[in-house]
Chains A and B, each alone.
Chain A
Amino acid sequence: MHLLIITGFLGSGKTTLTMQLAAECLRQGRKAAILVNEIGEIGIDSQLLRELDYNVWEMVNGCICCTIAADFIPTLQKLSEEYTVDLVLLEPSGAAEPGSILRNLRYYKGPLESVYIVTLLDPLRLAELYEVVTPLITKQIAEANLILITKSDVAAAEQIRQARHIAAEINPGTEPVEISLRQKLDEAILKEILPWQNWN
């Protein structure tokens, strides 16, 4: 089983990317489960994903990286033992720190072939948000294996440049990729993200 963590601030496009990747897994004959964590008391994204018939596991009423961290490992355990999925697409809340999730993974005793973190940056709001939630956004960028700058179809060139600048300062080893989630993901991105295509 592989674990793909899709992080990013609230409204950055995590659910849309998750849906696209789940559909791609299906197309490639792979079994994927979506683990959604929302900090609101009512799961909105999970309702949408269920409506679209995805295999969804929901963790609400807290943040997976802190207040309901204890629920994460048993859920992962169950997905591995009872459902034998190829890939778990974990969509933490936009307020979650991926590093805390990784630390909690040490309690997971099942097979895990790889863990990969994709962080989404919304260039329309990044500069403003970076000022008010600096530690959170810094951690989300710093811990990413891949940074995707979303909304490239509507963002101004200056907004993209700012997003690239912030990403480069925090995580200079990763070259951000611009995408628009209104369009189908291109093959190069899929190859980068899906574990059986590229991961070590």
Chain B
Amino acid sequence: MAELELEPYAASVHWHFAAARPPETWQQMLTAFLDNLGMACTADSKCVLGHIKFFARLPHGGYLRGSKISPHYPADLEVKGGTSPFAQLQMSLNVLVYGLPLQEAQQIVRQVGTAAAAEAGGEMEIFTAQADHQHEH
């Protein structure tokens, strides 16, 4: 198989809901988000998932982090220190998928994120970092 290019995509993703939700509900939604993102990024069989991960500080202390390393294994999420419900979350997201062009990664994150937020009755906004770096040796 040919060597694949890696174009890292990074974004700040903001999630908004009308009412506060407990951390467990956020965890369920974001697990589905990561799992769907992993599937969508590798829908083209030539793409290979390197790592999709996010980190978010919780509004009342603690953090939520998630990791997806393969479409064949479930996403791994951890909530630490936060028990109070909250309505908004701002996460840093990195999408590292071999063979997936940057623009496509951006589109996929928008589509999958919008769907995840809408299904849960909320909204999502993406603020993209200046992610135009290609990894070369």
Residues of chain A having any CB pair with chain B under 8 Å: 9-11, 38-44, 47-48, 51, 61-63, 65-67, 94-95, 97, 100, 122, 124-125, 128-129, 131-136
Contacts and interface: CB of A to CB of B under 8 A. Distances in A.
B10 A67 contact: no
11 contacts: A42-B10, A42-B94, A43-B92, A47-B92, A66-B136, A124-B69, A128-B48, A129-B48, A131-B1, A132-B48, A135-B3
A100 B50 contact: no
Contacts of B3: 132-135
Interface string B55-86: 10100000101010110010000000000000
B71 to A, nearest CB: 11
Contacts of B67: 11
A132 B53 contact: no
Nearest to A100: B137
Contact of A42 (B6, B12, B73, B98): B12
Contacts, number: 95
Contact of B73 (A40, A48, A124): A124
Contacts of B95: 40
Interface of B: 1, 3-4, 6, 8-12, 48, 50-51, 53-55, 57, 63, 65, 67, 69-70, 73, 92-96, 98-99, 129-131, 133, 135-137
A48 B135 contact: no
B96 A125 contact: no
Pick the most buried of A43, A95, A131: most chain B CB atoms within 10 A of its CB: A95
B50 A44 contact: no
A51 B63 contact: yes
Contact of A39 (B48, B73, B96, B129): B96
B1 A39 contact: no
Nearest to B4: A132
Given A65-B137, A97-B137, A124-B70, A42 B48 contact: no
Contacts of B92: 42-44, 47
A101 B55 CA distance: 27
B129 A42 contact: yes
A129 B130 CA distance: 27
Given A95-B6, A133-B4, A39 B12 contact: no
Given A39-B8, A48-B55, A48-B65, A10 B50 contact: yes
Contacts of B137: 65-66, 97, 100, 136
Given A40-B8, A51-B55, A133-B98, 15 more contacts: A39-B6, A39-B96, A39-B133, A39-B135, A40-B9, A41-B130, A42-B10, A51-B57, A63-B135, A65-B137, A95-B50, A100-B137, A122-B69, A125-B70, A132-B4
Contacts of A134: 3
